[in-house]
Amino acid sequence: MEPISVFDMFKIGVGPSSSHTLGPWRAAAQFVAELKKAGQFEQTHRVEATLYGSLALTGKGHGTDIAILLGLSGQDPETIPLDQVHGIPQSIEMHLKLQLADERTIPFYPEKDMVFHFDEVLPGHANGLVFRAFDAQGDQLFRGVYYSVGGGFVVKEGEALEDPRAVPPFPIHTSADLMRYCLEENAAVWELVLINERTWNPRPGVKNGLLRIWEVMRECVYKGCHTDGELPGGLHVSRRAAAIRRKLMGHTACADGRELLEALRRQNCDFSQVIKWVGCFAMAVNEENANFGRVVTSPTNGAAGVIPAVLFYYLAFVEREASEEDIVRFLLTAGVIGSIFKQGATISAAMGGCQAEIGVSSAMAAAALTESLGGSVGQALMAAEIAMEHHLGLTCDPVGGLVQVPCIERNSMGAMKAITAANIALESDPGKAKVTLDAVVKAMWETAQDMNHKYKETSLGGLAAHIAISVPEC
């Protein structure tokens, strides 16, 4: 497997789902780029997108159709103005025209050119989609088959890496690799990961890139904590984070995330209040995610609230004098733990249920928090194992195909489990642990393979099958 960077695990994008929104968005953009490379762009008169498996079953609720239209239109999920996320698709539906790559206007009829195959799954992955381009006579010019494999990663069928990433000094595929290198080099986890990252990024680039990731996380928490209302999609879910913030903080004015963090550092919170704040942070992010806001995939959009919540907890209530370097180290450690799960199992709920999303994000946060609190490498890996061990078997059953119920609250639970796992590991001897992180990764993958498909982001089982709603996307 190609080496995985921390910037693969943390991507800036638009909600509500990394596998069902960001991945299809990237796939659509890749298809257009390949269409140009093949010399067929100018001859294209019509494009067609066909969704299979989980993408079809929960695509509407996850905004897959919106994401595809934006990708075909040449929009970038990192930079698109958020008011255009719905504006561009609405214009396409109204005028039945699409600005391909933001360059050429072609006809587009959503009911005909966006096809959902609910009962068919492509062989490569549960999240499959096919794009086709046709000329004015209706003849096919170009076809591409893509798989959104979780966390915003996209794989094209039969694709070979033309420019593989350079092998870093410390290739890390398992927790055993990580432990061995750390012992040999007498290094912390973050130090090894930083050395690897500098294989692909210049020295200031790693720090600046991760601080940009943190900035988006921080501002997402802020916005979620200051926005009331009802989430879109038809479930009529009320946003709660802002009300919790007001109850805990009163009407203290904060202009942005930086001011919110500083105000929290000045508060003298008791245990109960801290717990409520952690839940508030996590829900704030995932309410923004459900509202098609800008979030950081960490490692997925559905689990985007766990790591920001735990990092906010650390900065606001534990280490109030923490520096930018401490934030960078936290994210480096979290990132490598996520990469171990991606290589040894999956971070796709469509392949492994929610254990692959909330479970992985909780393990990432637990290891990072443990090391930030002075824990050893062994304790950090132990914390990651504990966090995942107690998410094994967690299903993905989004009600109505929306990333709202139970997803928003579930991020709060994942954040609290990460903090608990870190505290247990810090008081334990990892040499006496009965379960290794590699063992729990293997157990998670075996559990994923045994899990019935209806519990893998299909909205066909679990809560989704027992909540009476009128959302058509279900």
pLDDT of 37-59, one tens digit each? 999 999 999 999 999 999 999 89
Task: Label residue 88 exposed, middle or buried (CB < 10 Å: 0-12, 13-18, 19+).
Answer: buried
Using left for φ > 0, alpha for ψ between -120 and 50, and beta otherwise, residue 319 falls in: beta
C-alpha span between 307 and 214 (Å, rounded): 10
Residues β-bridged to residue 48 = 132
The predicted-structure confidence for 362-420, as pLDDT tens digits, reads as follows 999 999 999 999 999 999 999 999 999 999 999 999 999 999 999 999 999 999 999 99
Task: Label residue 443 exposed, middle or buried (CB < 10 Å: 0-12, 13-18, 19+).
Answer: middle
Confidence at residue 470, expressed as pLDDT on a 0 to 100 scale: 59
C-alpha span between 338 and 361 (Å, rounded): 7
Residues β-bridged to residue 134 = 46, 140
C-alpha span between 425 and 307 (Å, rounded): 18
Do 82 and 294 contact (CB within 8 A), yes or no?
Answer: yes
Residue written as token pair 């680039």: 205
End-to-end CA distance of the chain: 36
Confidence at residue 473, expressed as pLDDT on a 0 to 100 scale: 42
Confidence at residue 164, expressed as pLDDT on a 0 to 100 scale: 72
Structural domains in the chain, sorted by start: 18-156 (3.30.1330.90), 175-465 (no CATH)
Tell me whether the omega of the peptide bond preceding residue 3 falls within 30 degrees of 0, making it cis: no
C-alpha span between 356 and 54 (Å, rounded): 15
C-alpha span between 376 and 371 (Å, rounded): 6
Question: Which contiguous run of DSSP H or E holds residue 196?
Answer: helix 189-197
Query: What value, to the nearest 5°, has the Cα angle with vertex 265 and ends 288 and 310?
Result: 45
Confidence at residue 163, expressed as pLDDT on a 0 to 100 scale: 54
Compute the 3-state secondary structure of the chain and give helix, strand, coil in percent, each to the nearest 5: 55, 10, 35
Do 459 and 57 contact (CB within 8 A), yes or no?
Answer: yes
Confidence at residue 232, expressed as pLDDT on a 0 to 100 scale: 95
C-alpha span between 396 and 184 (Å, rounded): 40
C-alpha span between 31 and 405 (Å, rounded): 32
| Nearest CA-CA partner of 122 in 64, 53, 59, 50 | 53
Confidence at residue 472, expressed as pLDDT on a 0 to 100 scale: 44
- Could you say which residues of the chain have pLDDT below 70? 1, 160-163, 470-474
Query: What value, to the nearest 5°, has the Cα angle with vertex 310 and ends 376 and 177?
Result: 35
Residues β-bridged to residue 115 = 50
Confidence at residue 2, expressed as pLDDT on a 0 to 100 scale: 78
